[in-house]
Structure 1
């Protein structure tokens, strides 16, 4: 890359390089995943070219709305959408096989309360999600970027917390979960410093795993290996 550094004022803001919090993974698509994309995308897919969404129009009703960033293979998002048909769900994932897996599952389940983006979550928040439109934003097991030199890539930063706050309704919940304690501590530090939020933990740290967050195969494997999981829930209060 020959991008000029972000501090170079000769580069227009919209063309400056931004730090990505994810790594684009191609991965091989199974037949089921490919079928999910081909058959499910026309029904469930959303794209940035649609611009700022009218969510009532997208779903054909007014209902509580949740958005998950980085749904992986889609297991937990699919389960949540199946168990709460009275709610609407939007998922964002850049891993194409995961998108295909979720769409294939949604087709089999006959869901109507799910929509999907396959692009950068920050762009979706900036360009597509109206302010004060979400009841919940979920971020489960994001890349912890273990090395100190990569901590700047962690998605949970003050600017991101403020962006999420803008998209949540007052009373809406930002729910995070991680199996990496140093990242949980980082999240807690950032969210305690972010204005307009209240920690829902009685002791100001973590909350027990909420029933509405399904236990994924990834989490079950971690439990077998003795890994802990930390859930944080912060409510928008202003």
Structure 2
């Protein structure tokens, strides 16, 4: 019998909410990545998949940002329009962009550097694993999920980000009273998210009626304008983390 310990890394046993394409970045994105990743990108310990987080390797936000401040994370930050605007206008708060597409992260770094947003960090990783393993419990003041892929075909529903498991993970990382904010331009997915999150005991509706008012901290992106042009209503949802007992 070998004395060599088993490799602790594991492959995922469930589908992820993205398809990670291996398209090349532009020369400008490559330069931005090389120059700015040491400042903006978190170095994380991986499990077997390239975008995974190894269990037991949580960060301490105070060490990452060098201070104690409110921490807001955005899942699926894309090219960073919302989170760069927020970070540059709220220098007393800290922000974390969670994204799997490297070209989007490179653009986010470039824009953050140009805007002087030194309170922003990024992680290239699968969001549920960030919530489960990288972020400590009760470490977030807000968690944003804006326009996640609706995976509108029934056979792809298993790939949707917002599930009961996701709701439990969001509740884990949010501080008591912390906010989960969501938006989508896909009505059926909005209803799905509302039904799922209404069923999470640790999350309470922070809106009356069918939908939340538009979150004024969410900048209008080209993606949102495109949805509006084709007649899609933008639906916002907001949930508050119930007090822990």
Per the normalisation by structure 1, the TM-score is 0.90
The residue number in structure 2 matching 1:220 is 225
The residue number in structure 2 matching 1:139 is 145
Contact 1:36 1:103 in 2 (8 A): yes
- In the aligned structure 1, how far is the partner of 2:96 from the partner of 2:177? 19
Coordinate RMSD, CA, aligned: 1.7
The residue number in structure 1 matching 2:37 is 41
Change (3 A) 1:16 1:143: closer
The residue number in structure 1 matching 2:241 is 236
Contact 1:48 1:124 in 2 (8 A): no
Contact 2:162 2:196 in 1 (8 A): yes
- In the aligned structure 1, how far is the partner of 2:11 from the partner of 2:112? 37
Give the C-alpha shift of residue 14 in structure 1.
Answer: 4.4
Correspondent of 1:148 among 154, 179, 187: 154
Per the normalisation by structure 2, the TM-score is 0.88
Q: Does 1:17 align with 2:13?
A: yes
Correspondent of 2:199 among 188, 193, 205: 193
- In the aligned structure 2, how far is the partner of 1:40 from the partner of 1:150? 36
Correspondent of 1:29 among 7, 25, 30: 25
- In the aligned structure 2, how far is the partner of 1:122 from the partner of 1:235? 19
Give the C-alpha shift of residue 191 in structure 1.
Answer: 0.7
Change (3 A) 1:148 1:28: same
The residue number in structure 1 matching 2:115 is 109
* Structure 2 gap ranges (5+): 1-7, 47-56
SS at match of 2:142: strand
The residue number in structure 2 matching 1:170 is 176
Greater CA drift, 117-126 or 167-176: 117-126
SS at match of 2:96: strand
Contact 1:26 1:96 in 2 (8 A): no
